[in-house]
């Protein structure tokens, strides 16, 4: 991940509503959620939610697909892994045991499809 991509992703998460949406979608797993359900859960108005979803999507933190008349949103776990990897790439100073607990957390929270 390039620094500009990381800055975009971090900027997308630097908003209370977008962070809440992202965390909700991470928790929802690969099944994702429809926009209406997301709006109800986070208490967002549809027009502002649409903007938040677009920003998160542009930052490659969420994905969407159509299911019938609904658009289903889900976390982009690959994007999340890239961002986490970027953030911790140099933190261990050559001592991976320092970051080992983080690796365990990532494995638990970022399921592979």
Q: What residues does each domain of the chain span?
A: 3-109
Reported pTM: 0.81
pLDDT at residue number 37: 93
What gap in Å lies between CA 78 and CA 58, rounded to an integer?
14
List the structure tokens of 77.
């776990």
H or E segment and range at residue 53? helix 46-58
pLDDT at residue number 89: 72
pLDDT at residue number 2: 87
pLDDT at residue number 63: 96
Helix (H, G, I), strand (E, B) or coil at 95: coil
H or E segment and range at residue 8? helix 3-13
Is 3-109 a CATH 1.10.10.10 domain? yes
Q: Do strands 33-34 and 62-67 pair parallel, antiparallel, or not at all (unpaired)?
A: unpaired
Query: What is the residue-level pLDDT of the chain in tens, covering all 113 positions?
Result: 888 999 999 999 999 999 999 999 999 999 999 999 999 999 888 888 999 999 999 999 999 999 888 899 999 999 988 888 888 776 666 666 666 666 565 565 555 55
List the structure tokens of 17.
């509503």
């Amino acid at each position: 991940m390039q620094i500009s991509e990381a800055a975009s992703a971090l900027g997308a998460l630097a908003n209370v509503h977008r962070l809440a949406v992202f965390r909700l979608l991470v928790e929802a797993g690969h099944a994702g959620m429809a926009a209406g359900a997301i709006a109800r859960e986070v208490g967002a108005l549809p027009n502002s939610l649409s903007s938040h979803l677009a920003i998160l999507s542009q930052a490659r933190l969420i994905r969407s697909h159509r299911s019938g008349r609904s658009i289903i949103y889900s976390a982009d776990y690959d994007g999340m892994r890239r961002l986490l990897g970027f953030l911790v790439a140099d933190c261990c100073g050559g001592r991976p045991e320092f970051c080992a607990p983080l690796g365990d957390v990532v494995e638990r929270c970022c399921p592979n499809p």
